[in-house]
Amino acid sequence: MSESEEKTAKTETTVKKTGTDQKIEKQKKKKPEKKYNLPRHKFWFGIGRPLTMAFLKYKANFKRTKNDLTNRPYMILCNHACDLDPLMVINSVPGIVHALASDHLFKHPVFGKFVAHIAGPIPIVRAQVDLKSIKEAMQVRKDGGSLLIFPEANCCYSAKTSYIAPATAKLVKQFKMPLALFNVKGSYLTKPRWSNSWRRGRTTCELVRVIEPEQLAAMSVDEIYEAICEALSFNEMEYQRAMHVSFKGHDLLDGAERMLFQCPKCGKLMTMKSEGDSVYCTGCGYRVTMNSEGFLEGDDVVFDSLDRWDDWQREQAAKLVSEGRYDTTGQEPVLITPVNELYKTKRASKNVLIGEGSFALYSDRMEFVTDNALETDEEGNSVSTGAKTFVWNFEDITKMSCVHKNRVQIAVGEKDYYEIHSKNTYRSAYAYMIYFYCLKRHAQGKELDFFGM
């Protein structure tokens, strides 16, 4: 190489290095967007509150009730019956509110990012607050925002407040913030979790109690838990027996078999089918219709409300398990559905399809059988690996819950999360959850008093 060529090569190398260095410097200077940006959230809340208030008025006839909350950060706890509940709470309190929300909200590529940018919700997986969620919540408190938590972690299925984990009280005591306890009323009949249709009646969000940090410090965790459960306890159908609010809509029972999985007349499982304002049993023909107040009517009504029907079928599940009226050998399934999709999932990320096949609950395990399992290669492509059976023994399942209307979510150990989506969207994931907890707790020798959510 000549002297001039050598100089030219050195110059090109220097330019390349300089260009690379410049890119590195730019990357160093570019700071990531702060997730909880108070000025940004104040701007969006200022615009969003009147818009969402107008939407709630139109969609749910929401009426804001007066309360004496001051403009300071609170930890807000509320019962949960409808997807509109967060908007109702946010429009009932002053200041900026960040909600702890299911990570499924963040999986949508457009809507998820939009909500995260304007409102900064904190993602939680399988209805559980993990260390990362706590750190993000601490940052919200530091920035002067309020925290909104729905301790049931899921919309209720049957019109009344469901199980609240005792760990909620520990979290409240740890954060040392003023505690505001709310009740939403009317939202269940506006849009039941299992339903495909909306109804318009009347909804409110009422402040039940405020507990100051000094009071919380003097209370034990058990006392805090008792106060939370007492304040958040609400049964919409019992409320309706006194108020008789009319909720006008159509197809009032469409999708009800997602919750009503056992016929109260013949006792058969998975035989209920909805049709407009009615639900009937394909086994014995038992039929009921829902009226505008949310009560059930018919020639031979066994239960006049969904909460009472649900209490009965949960009792029947516990009775079947405790009396051993199922295949205890694990050879025959307690419940099975043939056409499903299995997904691998992780916190606030897109689900990855693993395969299609049958999903079954046995006396000691869950199984998913597929003829065409899929794996992801290094380039991110799905590769078929043939037939495969996924087996999750009860002792390895740390939690099972229902997601959206009808998806089963399973946590195996501390790291692996799976979801089963049924192609029959009316299959009852709720039934799987009820029977899983009954079977597991029976195997552990525990009382059948907790069915999870």
Q: What is the pLDDT of residues 325-363, one digit of tens each?
A: 999 999 999 999 999 999 998 765 678 899 999 999 999
Residue 20: its pLDDT value, please? Answer: 43
Q: Which residues are within 8 A (CB) of 124 and not within 5 positions of it... i.e. 6 or more apart? A: 100, 101, 102, 103, 130, 133, 153
**Count of CA atoms in the C-beta half-sphere (13 A) of 14:** 6
Rg of the chain on CA atoms, in Å: 26
- Closest by CA position to 53, among listed 93, 106, 102: 93
Helices 167-175 and 221-232: angle between axes, nearest 10 degrees: 110
Is 110 in contact with 89 (CB distance < 8 Å)? no
CATH number of 335-443: 2.30.29.30
Beta bridge partners of 410: 400, 418
d(CA 234, CA 280): 28
Rounded alpha-carbon distances, angstroms, from residue 357 to 32, 151, 236, 367: 42, 34, 38, 10
Per-residue pLDDT of 267-325, as tens digits, reads: 999 999 999 999 999 999 999 999 999 999 999 999 999 999 999 999 999 999 999 99
Per-residue pLDDT of 223-252, as tens digits, reads: 999 999 999 999 999 999 999 999 999 999
Rounded alpha-carbon distances, angstroms, from residue 244 to 159, 234, 276, 359: 15, 16, 22, 41
CATH 3.30.1490.70 fits 38-243, yes or no: no
Residue 403: its pLDDT value, please? Answer: 83
Q: State both tokens at 292.
A: 């505008």
Give the total residue count for the chain: 453
d(CA 376, CA 382): 5
- Closest by CA position to 393, among listed 357, 355, 439, 356: 439
Per-residue pLDDT of 89-139, as tens digits, reads: 999 999 888 888 765 555 555 555 656 555 566 766 644 556 777 787 888
- pLDDT of 88 > 80? The answer is yes
Rounded alpha-carbon distances, angstroms, from residue 367 to 132, 298, 403, 428: 31, 39, 19, 17
